[in-house]
Structures are given as structure tokens and as C-alpha cells.
Amino acid sequence: MTHMQASVLMVLVVLARSIAYLFSKTLLGEVAPLCLLALRFGLAFALLAIMFRKQLLAASRAELARGLGLGGLLAALMFCEMLALKIADITVVSFIENTAVVLVPLAAAALFGVKLRASSMCCALVALGGVALLTVCGTHASIGAGDGFAMAAAVLYALFIVVTARFSRACDPIVLGVA
């Protein structure tokens, strides 16, 4: 993949994610969060299981168990995200949840002993402090339940990324994603 193709792909991912926030916020006015998640996960699993049935049938129990664990982690983070979107402003939820980018190296260090440079740790802490200041001092004077659910989603998202990276070294990534 060229640098240009990677850049275009990244823009498309950000665009798709932004659209997903809008659709989720809109649908939450009509559908309960757990129902929405059941629909999303059910449809995604059905389509992917059909497309990758050969890999699923050839998968070991350990791969399926790890995929199921990752699915549970993803479901928990999506549930927190849905609750945050239901009760908080979409821009605040998006802003807070995207702190997962900063939390990933911290989660890797905490869970798997990945060594962080002091400068990386300092940058992460400054970024998190900035997010805290912007969130608390921005549109409202306190941290609400929606902010808390968004932060929980960010932490779970960081954990999901780190654990997926670790599991995908030993397992078929397709099986992890579908199971």
C-alpha cells in the first residue's frame, strides 16, 4: 500500500466512524442501546460468518475463545459508547472517546510491560490533562454521566486495540474478527 492509499484509507475510516456516531445518535432516539447493539453485532456476525465460514470451521477452540473474548470487550465498549451518545452531546463523546489513541501505549505498558520512553509518558499525560480541561471547562462545568461513559468507552477501546494486537500474533486475525 502506498502512502497516498494509506492516507485515503485513513480519511475514509474517520469519515465512516463519524457517520456511525451520527447514525447511532439518531437511532438511539428510537431504539434501546442493547437492541441497537444486538442488531449491529448480529448482522455483522451473520455476514462475516458466511463470508469467512472456511476460516471459522478450521479455527481452534483457543482462537474461537479469544475471538469471543474480544467480541465481549467490543460489546462492552460499544454499550458504553451508546449510553454516552444517548445522554451527552455527540461532539463531546467523540472527543473523549478518541483519547483512546493516547491510552493505547499506556494500556500496552500496564498490561504487557511494554517499555515507554519518558517523553511518551509525559506526552500522554499532558494530552489526557488537556482533554480533561477541555471537557470540564468547555461546554459545562462538571463531568456528567455521559462523559464518564465516553471515558469508559475510550479505556475499553484502548484495551481492545492492545489485546487485539497481542492475540493476532498467535491467531488468525479473520477468526478473531468474526468470532
Distance CA(86)–CA(89), nearest Å, equals 8
Phi, psi (deg, nearest 5) at residue 82:
-65, -45
pLDDT at 96: 84
Say if residues 81 and 150 touch (Cβ distance below 8 Å).
yes
Mean pLDDT, the chain cut into blocks of 10 residues (179 residues total): 80 79 84 89 92 92 93 93 89 82 85 85 80 64 79 93 90 86
Distance CA(20)–CA(154), nearest Å, equals 16
Does the reported pTM lie above 0.95? no
Instruction: Tell the burial category of 71 from Cβ atoms under 10 Å away from its Cβ (0-12, 13-18, 19+).
Output: middle
Q: Tell me the chain's radius of gyration from C-alpha atoms.
A: 18
Grid cell of 42 as nine digits? 448480529
pLDDT at 137: 62
pLDDT at 136: 64
pLDDT at 65: 93
